[in-house]
């Protein structure tokens, strides 16, 4: 999962899922990944974009796992952030999904949809994470990012949110603004 999340930056989940089988078949352990030739890694992950940087990070993160964490992905934010290529969002995805620790991973969809729904007003992922953790019950921290991401992809698009199809339109403080724009366009 750690490697898949590193690959997923600026890349679709579908593309990552097409890439990982051959990658993991070739290098099935952190030890093997750490020893992999950089050029081979680049060739295997090329279609995911930013393949040079991602290859370096995957190799360096694997080496760090072997040298500092006994070949296992650590379970704390502080330790995860020590791994090359791992930022706060990646660490939260690992903590929430792999270790069921109830962390909130904030990406561009979460930032946008949380703001439109009035759940968080900050502009940086770290602050939005804090604000969401205050308004969302802790038992749902692991799921809330998935819900917001899904909603952002399916309905609350960045450029043209489909408020008329939205199940939370009656609760959303941004709906009126977008519906006004839509009706203005329709009239025009």
The set of catalytic residues is: 89, 107
Q: Own/partner pairs for 134-141, CB < 8 Å, 24+ apart?
A: 136/104, 138/102, 139/102, 141/96, 141/102, 141/103, 141/104
Using the rule CB under 6 A, which residue among 16, 66, 83, 117 binds ligand SF4?
117
C-beta of 100 vs 170, nearer to ligand SF4: 170
Query: Which residues are within 8 A (CB) of 182 and not within 5 positions of it... i.e. 6 or more apart?
Result: 163, 164
Q: Please, which residues have CB within 8 angstroms of residue 148's CB and are 6 or more apart in sequence?
A: 109, 110, 113, 114
Residue 175 engages ligand SF4 in binding (rule: CB under 6 A): yes
Asked if 119 interacts with ligand SF4 (CB under 6 A), we say no
148 scored as a contact of ligand SF4 (CB under 6 A):
no
Residue 156 in the binding site for ligand SF4 (CB under 6 A): yes
Size of the site for ligand SF4 (CB under 6 A): 14
- For binding to ligand SF4 (CB under 6 A), which residues are involved? 116-117, 155-156, 161-163, 166, 168-169, 172, 174-175, 178
């Amino acid at each position: 999962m750690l490697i898949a999340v590193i690959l997923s930056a600026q890349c679709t989940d579908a593309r990552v899922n097409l890439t990982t089988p051959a990658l993991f078949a070739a290098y099935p352990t952190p030890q093997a990944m750490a020893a992999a030739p950089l050029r081979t890694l680049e060739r295997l992950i090329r279609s995911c974009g930013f393949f040079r940087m991602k290859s370096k990070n995957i190799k360096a993160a694997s080496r760090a796992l072997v040298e500092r964490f006994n070949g296992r992905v650590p379970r704390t934010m502080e330790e995860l952030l020590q791994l090359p290529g791992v930022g706060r969002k990646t660490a939260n995805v690992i903590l929430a999904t792999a270790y069921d620790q109830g962390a909130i991973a904030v990406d561009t969809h979460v930032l946008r949809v949380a703001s439109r729904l009035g759940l968080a007003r900050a502009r940086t992922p770290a602050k939005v994470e804090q604000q969401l953790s205050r308004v969302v019950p802790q038992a749902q921290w692991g799921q809330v990012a998935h819900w917001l991401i899904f909603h952002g992809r399916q309905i609350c698009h960045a450029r043209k949110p489909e408020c008329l199809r939205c199940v939370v339109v009656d609760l959303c403080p941004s709906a009126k603004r977008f519906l006004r724009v839509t009706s203005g366009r329709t009239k025009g």
